[in-house]
Chains A and B, each alone.
Chain A
Amino acid sequence: MIQPVIELRGIGRRFPGVVANHDVSLSVAAGQVHAIVGENGAGKSTLMEILYGLQRPDEGEVRIDGRPVRLDSPADAIAHGIGMVHQHLMLADNLTVLENIVLGSEPIARGGRLDVARARAAITAIAARHGLPLDPVARVGDLSVGARQRVEIVKVLYRGARILILDEPTAVLVPQEVDELLRTLRALRDVGFTILFISHRLDEVLSVADVITVMRAGTTVVSVQPRDTDVRRLAELMVGSALPEPARHGVPPRAGVALQLRGVTSARPDARESLHDLSLTLHEGEIVGVAGVEGNGQSELIEVVLGIVVPSAGTIALGGHDITHWPTGERRALGLAAIPPDRRSEGLLLDAPLWENRILGHQLGPPLARGPWIDRGVARAGTRAIVLEADVRTPSIDVAASALSGGNQQKLIVGRELAGDPRVLIAAHPTRGVDVRAQAAIWARLVAARDAGLAVLLVSADLSELIGLSDRIVVMLRGRITGELDPRTVTPEALGGAMTGIGP
């Protein structure tokens, strides 16, 4: 039998309070595209980090080409021919493509000078060989997401990697870019590279992988061949039971307008993110989903509605009031709540206890504030209520928010924002990083609030979440709303096509 190029036996890794991996076994053959799937928190990323030397396993053994190895740092992994393309691209925006690629393995000319010519030649050769066009002197910050990912791949190939690990590579790509990437991966596999591919996009996985390993709750469950399975069965293996679905009640939205944007234009240095003459209406008791590839103005839209950015043209009205030039605080006082896109830096005070985090965003009036004073009793009681209702796992409300896991942090934030009985809720990636059970719970709460009259602006990259929760879906492309779709009839393919501006 041919030696597997990678073999993991009995890998375990613990963090304070969390078991990320236990008893993980994996066998990857050479020249294979091996996909690893699992829900959020299943331990896939940690396992790959162990393989790349970013983490060290507490138990178990890693074997490369049959020999046990110790990977104490990325340098060790690189030395063994392993290269990793991270989910959040590890590229320095202010440096050039060439500088990012050669960093750490710079060709040195006489006198200690960086040999730019040699680097450029090598990079261009690799890029040509594998069909990955790029411009070595371009500044990375100016590139598109697809181009940046190509830089990451060339970066890995430049170091002589024969094993490529890709962590959720298609998460931020447009369907056309996804096809290109999958084609590139197949081409690499055909010339002998081994590819490890983490994804939760099951349809993509089925189309490109030779073997699929399912992980659940920190351990490997089974490895299957794509022809022996389908999306449904894979999903069930990931969850361990039948899949929950967002329950949509047939309650029609009310007539009252909760939030209205008219002709909103805002300028941003990155033109793709600017808003151009954007108009959108949210009715009471309605969830409007905003679909679009990340970087097409969704974050600008959120900031404009919140009041962090003032539009250069157009108006915004909340419940009948013209809030276009209102500061954020006054908008929140009027009933605007927000689940921000980045919970750690925008939704929480990491070093503050949970009960103080309850106050965040709600300190502008009753019940948490009476006049200039903060009502600590109400804050503490309210926090306990949220912890109970939203199933936030914590031993006390006095621990710092940073001590909670990502999923529990998110549950706290969702609970907090809904507790204020808002009129309009901006929900940006509301279930990112949350396990499936909690995801279903959050969905249920959003739907219940919607039924009670809440208007929700839902921004999400999770197409099933968008289709499952929304009453209407609008598509954003380059800062404009380019179309509206009916979630009851739309398919993920059609939605993806609309998001790129091509297709049906």
Chain B
Amino acid sequence: MWLRVTLTVVVLSLVSGAANAPDLLSEGSMGAALRFTAPILLAGLGALWAERSGVVNIGLEGMMIMGTWFGAFVGHQAGPLAGVLAGVAAGMSFGLALAVMALGFRIDQAVAGLALNLLAAGLARFLSSIFFDGIDGGSITQSPTVDALATVSLPGAQALLEPVASASIPIVSDVAQVTLGLVTDVSLLTLLVVALVPITWWVLFRTGLGLRIRACGEHPAAADSLGVSPAVHRTIALAVSGAMAGLAGAFLVTVASSVYREGQTGGRGFIGMATVVFGNWMVVPTAIGAFIFGFTDALRTRQEASVGALLLVAAVAFVIVAVVRGRHRSCRDAAGWGVASALLVSAFVLLPVVPPEFVSFAPHLTTLVVLALARPDLRAPAALGLPFRRGGSS
């Protein structure tokens, strides 16, 4: 895996030089990437917890919205830490609501998720009209500002890496820049988010509770026959899922920005679902997917030339994948990736600059392309989306 990471950095570095886009691998863009990745990563973890237990959580977006609203509401009044806790609690409540609807009332999981999304949007607007409208700095669609959380930096990193970073040595400087970006001025919340990745992996794959949850997603009847209640474990998973989404919302209003704004979540709940598919329902690949999508999301704040450079990077990446697929004898797949790569190169050459409107949907387009070209041999939890009832008749 480290080989792949090194290769990626080298390629990025070369391309950023070739495309005259020094900002692509700068400290600033890495820092931004981290900030934009966190909510998507949380959404991905939320989707993973739910889907590993067998439930499709379409309501992630709504849970995130509740996280943003309550995070801002409480955060404005009682400080960012309280805001974060409130956001998590709000998300978790909606997660439990989904459990009640889909497991208790046995409503179709997707329909229940959609209904909760609708409720969340309406609720956010309604509560904003009561609490934010008329207050200084607030309106129906925006909250007053929330203070930020403390940030930390790795001691000594600045002193050590700064000279290397500004020395313009090819590749090495870029690596120094990237590292600086990842360890300087990082919000405490970001650290928590990153820590949740190994924690999730450990709980789901190394503990008894994790085994039970996964079993409920693979074969709930088997679990039930051994005294492991699918309803209980799916509820736990949904509570965690909602909490993750709520945390993502809280992150958006305390770290990524400092206000609640209507429409802030921007479909990240659904992008989170996509990262799980990208990661084949495994923790670390999901996180990697989140980073890819987060990186493209961060582009909107960077220099325009970086966007163009990223097209070239994607083109190179696609060529590599095309070669790999070709070696595996999947010629049609390889051709697909090859064509996509060619399209990207032509786009890079033809467009002097990528319009900002296009940058706004960069993560969404990336998601679509990655899903479209991903390998078809995915292994989702066997009972995903299927409701469980004891004693299904003959």
Asked if A pairs with B, the answer is yes
Chain A residues near B (Cβ < 8 Å)? 15, 49, 52, 54-55, 73-75, 78, 84, 86, 90-95, 99-100, 102-106, 108, 112-114, 155, 405-406, 433
Q: Is B218 an interface residue (CB 8 A)?
A: yes
A-B contact count (CB 8 A): 79
B222 within 8 A of A: yes
- The answer to whether A54 touches B218, judged by C-beta atoms less than 8 angstroms apart, is no
Shortest distance from the beta carbon of A223 to any chain B beta carbon, whole Å: 26
Q: Which residue of B lies closest to A45 (CB)?
A: B394
Task: Give complex CA distance A94, B379 in Å.
Answer: 9
Contact residues in A for B224 (Cβ distance below 8 Å): 74
B227 touches A92 (CB 8 A): no
Q: Provide the residues of chain A in CB contact with B394, threshold 8 Å.
A: 405-406, 433
Partner of B228, one of A15, A49, A86, A103: A103
Contacts of B210 in A (CB 8 A): 114
Binary CB contact string for chain B from 363 to 394 against chain A (1 if under 8 A, 0 otherwise): 00000000000000001011000000011011
Using CB atoms, name the residue of chain B closest to A89: B222
19 pairs from A and B in contact (CB 8 Å cutoff): A15-B393, A74-B224, A74-B226, A78-B226, A84-B225, A90-B221, A90-B222, A90-B226, A92-B222, A92-B382, A93-B219, A103-B223, A103-B226, A103-B228, A104-B212, A104-B226, A104-B227, A104-B228, A106-B211
Q: Counting CB contacts under 8 A, is B206 at the interface?
A: yes
* Cα separation A112 to B211 with both chains bound (whole Å): 12
- On whether the beta carbons of B227 and A93 are closer than 8 Å, the reply is no
Is B390 touching A54 in the complex (CB atoms < 8 A)?
yes
| Residue of B207, B215, B393 touching A92 (CB-CB under 8 A) | B215
Say yes or no for B352: interface residue by CB 8 A criterion. Answer: no
Q: A90-B222, A91-B222, A114-B210 given. 16 additional CB < 8 A pairs? A: A49-B391, A54-B391, A55-B391, A74-B224, A90-B219, A91-B219, A92-B219, A92-B382, A94-B218, A95-B218, A103-B215, A104-B223, A112-B207, A114-B206, A114-B208, A114-B211
Interchain nearest-CB distance for B53 vs A (Å): 13
The answer to whether B214 has its CB under 8 Å from any CB of chain A is yes
| Residues in B neighbouring A104, C-beta threshold 8 A | 212, 223, 226-228
Contacts of B225 in A (CB 8 A): 52, 54, 74, 84, 86, 90
The closest CB in chain B to the CB of A105 belongs to: B226
Closest to B208 in A: A106
> How many angstroms between the C-alpha atoms of A105 and B381 in the bound complex?
22
B206 contacts across to A, CB distance below 8 A: 113-114
Q: How far is the CA of A99 from the CA of B226 in the complex (A)?
A: 12
How far is B219's CA from A86's CA once the two chains are assembled, in angstroms? 14
Partner of A99, one of B207, B211, B382, B390: B211
Q: Which residues of B contact A78 (CB under 8 A)?
A: 226-227
Top 3 closest pairs, chain A to chain B, by CB = A75-B227, A106-B208, A92-B218
With both beta carbons as reference points, the residue of chain B lying nearest to A406 in the complex is identified as: B394
Beyond A74-B226, A94-B379, whether A108 also contacts B208 by CB under 8 A is: yes
Q: Look across to chain B and name the residue whose beta carbon is closest to the beta carbon of A98.
A: B211
Tell me which residues across on chain B come within 8 A of A105, comparing CB atoms. Answer: 226
Taking a contact as CB atoms under 8 Å apart, the answer to whether B222 and A103 are in contact is yes
Instruction: Let me know if B215 and A99 touch, CB within 8 A.
Output: yes
Which residues of chain B (146-203) have a CB below 8 Å from chain A?
Answer: none
* A residues less than 8 Å from B209 (CB atoms): 112
Whether B215 pairs with A112 at a CB distance below 8 angstroms is no
**Contact residues in A for B208 (Cβ distance below 8 Å):** 106, 108, 112, 114
Nearest Cβ on chain B to A462's Cβ, whole angstroms:
16
- Min CB distance B54 to A, Å, is 11
A464 to chain B minimum Cβ distance, whole angstroms, is 20
Q: Chain B, 41-80, contact with A by CB distance < 8 Å: what is the 0/1 string?
A: 0000000000000000000000000000000000000000
For B215, the chain A residues whose CB sits under 8 A away are 92, 95, 99-100, 103
B226–A95 CB distance below 8 A: no
CB neighbours (8 Å) of A55 from chain B are 391
How far is A99 from B206 in the complex, measured between Cα atoms in Å? Answer: 11
Q: List the B residue with the shortest CB-CB distance to A343.
A: B394
User: CB-nearest residue of chain A relative to B281?
Assistant: A94
* CB closest chain-B residue, reference A93: B382
Complex CA–CA separation, A100 to B391 (angstroms): 20
CA distance A99 to B205 in the complex (A): 11
How far in angstroms is the closest Cβ of chain A from B204? 11
Interface string of B103-130 (1 = CB under 8 A from A): 0000000000000000000000000000
A15 CB contacts on chain B under 8 angstroms: 393
CB of B106 to closest CB in A, whole Å: 13
Determine whether the beta carbon of B227 is less than 8 Å from that of A95.
no
- With a cutoff of 8 Å between Cβ atoms, the chain B residues found around residue A90 in the complex are 219, 221-222, 225-226
Q: How many angstroms from the CA of A78 to the CA of B227 in the assembled complex?
A: 8
What chain B residues lie within 8 Å of A108 (beta carbons)? 207-208
Q: A54-B391, A92-B382, A95-B215 are in contact. Are A73 and B227 (CB under 8 A)?
A: yes
Give the Cβ gap from A105 to chain B, nearest Cβ, in Å: 7
B394 to chain A, nearest CB (A): 4
Q: When chains A and B are docked, how far (Å) is the Cα of A77 from the Cα of B21?
A: 68
Instruction: Render B213-241 as a binary contact track against A, CB cut-off 8 A, 1 for contact.
Output: 01100110111111110000000000000
A369 to B212, CA, bound (A): 50
Residues of B within 8 A of A86 (CB): 225
Residues on A with beta carbons closer than 8 Å to the beta carbon of B214: 95
Q: Could you say which residues of chain A place their CB within 8 Å of the CB of B223? A: 92, 103-104
Residues of A within 8 A of B222 (CB): 90-92, 100, 103
Residue on A nearest B380 in the bound complex, by CB? A94
Inter-chain contacts of B226 with A (CB < 8 A): 74, 78, 90, 103-105, 155
Nearest-CB distance from A310 to chain B (Å)?
Answer: 16
**In the docked arrangement, what's the CA distance between A91 and B218, Å?**
9
Within the complex, the shortest CB–CB distance from A20 to chain B, in Å, comes to 10
User: Which residues of B sit under 8 angstroms from A91, Cβ to Cβ?
Assistant: 219, 222
- Contacting residue for B207 out of A74, A103, A114, CB 8 A: A114
Instruction: Give Cα A74–Cα B379 distance, bound, in whole angstroms.
Output: 29
- Nearest chain B CB to A109's CB is how many angstroms away? 10
* Chain A neighbourhood of B207, CB < 8 A: 108, 112-114
Shortest CB distance B4–A (Å):
25
User: Contacts of A405 on B, CB cut-off 8 Å?
Assistant: 394
CB distance from B375 to the nearest CB of A (A): 14
* A74 and B208 alpha carbons, distance in the complex (Å): 19
Which residues of chain B come closer than 8 Å to A112, judged between CB atoms?
Answer: 207-209
Question: CA separation between A108 and B208, bound complex, in Å?
Answer: 7
For B381, the chain A residues whose CB sits under 8 A away are: 94
List the B side residues contacting A106 at CB < 8 Å: 208, 211-212
Which chain A residues border B390 with CB–CB below 8 Å?
54
A91 to B214 alpha-carbon distance, docked (Å): 13
Which of chain B's residues has its CB closest to A18's CB? B393
Chain A residues positioned under 8 Å from B228 (CB to CB): 103-104
Cα distance, A104 to B214, chains bound together (Å): 12
A335 to B390, CA, bound (A): 39
Give Cα distance in the complex from A388 to B154, angstroms.
Answer: 81
